[in-house]
Amino acid sequence: MRTKFPGGLLLVMLLASAGLAPGAELSIQTIESGPLEASEILPLDKLPGEWEEAYWLVGDEKEIEGNLRLLVRERNNATWKLKLVAATVSPPGMKTDDTEALGRYQGYVYAFGSHFGKKQGPLELDRQFVARFREPEFEGATAPNVTIEIGRISFELHRVINDALRSRAVPVIGLREKTAELMAKPIKKLSTEDQSRIRPGDAPLNFEAVAILESGEVLIGLRFPVSAEGHPILLRVTGIESLFGPAATPLEVTGAWVLESAGSSGQLMGFRGMAVDNGWIDAIVGSIERETDGDGDPSALAEDYPAGNHAVALHVGIALNDLKAGPVLLAETIRRFEGKAIESIAVTPRGARYVVDGAEDVEVLSTTE
């Protein structure tokens, strides 16, 4: 039996081997989740003995502390379960919304807001955040309590990235009528300093793919903007620690690339998810927007850029060493997902795991051998 719930479809597709066999058969399991629209998964650093596999999973609806889960499969059991994680934020009362990506660095799990806004705008301050929590030691298979530290909520990354896109001459797609109107709408609760960080000609940013390298540098794959020819844009950012207090490294974009092997002017594609392992970037690229939000409200991006609404999601692979070669990247296509809006990817010794955004049911898909 399938369990209906409001808020979206969580579909985790499990491929059997590190070879990510494109033709592998998939079996389906439905699980209950409650009103959760999943946006990202990240493997646990250390597994309790009772679990075969486990992932941090975050949803993108409202505050991060109410949308953190564990996706777990116990040993000698093929059934997947979702476990609620009890979480609080520090400082208390900090408001966040639309968590889209997770990464790990030096014992912390980092979470990134989309840095975007509502479908018709304006941009929203609550989405301009980076947060983190210390990855806990598990006692048995009990879901832990975590305290999520919210970094400085501001338009600092918006400013740094827009400046870098200009200074590095990244060929960014131009803003069309409704998207320009979105950018011009006033933003509530904005400080004078943040008002100065939003300037004419800026592009609205939408983060949906993040991976943190061993160096602490952060790769950010933009869902929007895309390049002038409709290709996804990848950035490398240093100094994320500065959002949590004094840091030796300033917030700065140190690299920008256009993934020319995905997307086109007739089918715009942005990043949807990303994982880095063993010198390899595994990424999901796909549509830049869906036409309406959960309330049926139309999207400014979808109206302005209809060529970006229905792109087929791709799992692509990029060698990390290719980032040294120049501002243009080419990727190997590993798998196509016809008719499925893939949100996230995690890579493990057992293979790839995918989260799918859709409607009505929560399903887990796994290969049959």
Residues 24-42 have pLDDT tens digits of: 555 556 666 667 788 899 9
What's the mean pLDDT in 46-61? 89
Report percent pLDDT > 70 for the chain: 85
- C-beta separation of 196 from 163 below 8 A: no
Q: How many CB atoms lie within 10 A of CB 365?
A: 19
C-alpha 86/C-alpha 256 separation (Å) is: 37
What's the mean pLDDT in 48-62? 89
Segment among 9-18, 32-41, 59-68, 351-360 with least mean pLDDT: 9-18
Chain centroid to Cα 172, Å, comes to: 20
What's the mean pLDDT in 168-192? 95
Q: Which residue has the higher pLDDT, 149 or 248?
A: 149
What's the mean pLDDT in 216-227? 98
- Among the residues of the chain, which ranges form H helices? 156-167, 177-184, 192-195, 300-304
Task: Tell me the sheet residues that pair with 357.
Answer: 10, 341
Burial of 321 (0-12, 13-18, 19+ CB in 10 A): exposed
Q: 122-161 in b/e burial notation, b at 16+ Cβ within 10 A?
A: bbbbbbbbbbbbebbebeebebeebebbbbebbbbbbbbb
Local structure of residue 173 (DSSP, 8 states): P
Hey, where are the domains in the chain? 10-367
pLDDT of 16 above 50: no
Whether residue 122 is preceded by a cis peptide bond, meaning omega within 30 degrees of 0, is yes
Q: Does domain 10-367 have CATH number 2.120.10?
A: yes
Question: Strands of 233-238's sheet, edge to edge?
Answer: 206-212, 218-224, 233-238, 252-259, 328-329
Query: 3-class SS at 181?
Result: helix
Q: Phi first, then psi: what are they for 169, rounded to 5°? A: 55, 40
pLDDT of 220 above 60: yes
Q: Which residue has the higher pLDDT, 367 or 2?
A: 367
